[in-house]
Amino acid sequence: MKILVTGAGGMLATELLPLLEDEGHEVLALTRGDADVSHADSLKHSVHAFNPEWIFHLAAYTKVDDCEKEVDHAYLVNAIGSRHVALAAAQCGAGLLALSTDYVFPGDSKRPYREYDAVGPRSVYGASKWAGEQAIREIHPKHLIVRTAWLYGRGGPNFIDTILRRSRSGQDLKVVDDQRGTPTWTRDLSGALLRLAMRAQYGTYHVTNSGDCTWFDLARYVLDRTRSTVALDRTDSASLARPAPRPSYSVLNLQMYEQATGDRMPPWKDAVDRFLETRTESE
């Protein structure tokens, strides 16, 4: 199958691209330098020249705090860029799989969010990603919108690598304990994306590893597994005074993904263990 991937220079693509190639798919990987999704003509030319059967749209502006001051740029990439990709996919008849985020929800739920729960983004990042979702739905019926959360993996900055780096330098740590979600390894997510595309049951899906924790819980688990002795203290989100508000609860319900694919996502602790093994092997 011919698959075009936007955002090919990002963390998720670092795991997804080798998987697609190992599965025998013909892949065109587009970085921002190859085809900027915010420029329709450049993107349209690349898509039409390759004539893909699927487009995996990973390109996004994900600097959550920077989005608060760079509002126009956030919407240009996350909303208008997604519109451009949807138009290009529709024109060549390709299926479109696009990544979205738990930040589309307000974070005040007491149970995992379902795909059809009311959204209510509280940050520019979340609002721009929601606008991108809406553009895709309006333009191209052959779409898969996949909301995910708390990504970590090779090929980009992430929370676990930050904890490892600081612990190895002997820095004591303070981590928030009032945000609950699900850490998700990009390798597990990549496999899930491919399974969804192969089944082509179009719609919106939630995909993360299973289970949930706070950022403090995740940091504690990583430090324990790596036998680090640095001090770890709890703090709260208000103490950090970051520009963009974070959802206090953004656990996602995985039932629709499980029904569509017959697959169950591995628990987050299992995924972290396997990720840490790859980090040890590469050192």
Residues with active-site annotation: 125
**Structure-token pair, residue 209:** 């590893």
Residue whose C-alpha is closest to residue 61's, from 32, 93, 90, 35: 32
Lookup result for tokens 């721009």: 128
- Taking each helix axis from N to C terminus, what angle separates 124-139 and 81-92, rounded to the nearest 10 degrees? 20
Contacts of 2 (CB under 8 A, 6+ apart): 25, 26, 27, 28, 50, 51, 52, 53, 54
**Structure-token pair, residue 131:** 């606008």
Rounded to the nearest angstrom, the gap between the alpha carbon of residue 16 and the centroid of all alpha carbons in its chain is 12
The 54-57 sheet, strands edge to edge: 26-30, 2-6, 54-57, 95-101, 143-148, 203-206
CB 209 within 8 A of CB 271: yes
Cα distances (angstroms) measured from residue 56 to each of 65, 190, 210, 272: 25, 11, 23, 25
Enter the DSSP assignment of 117: S
Contacts of 169 (CB under 8 A, 6+ apart): none
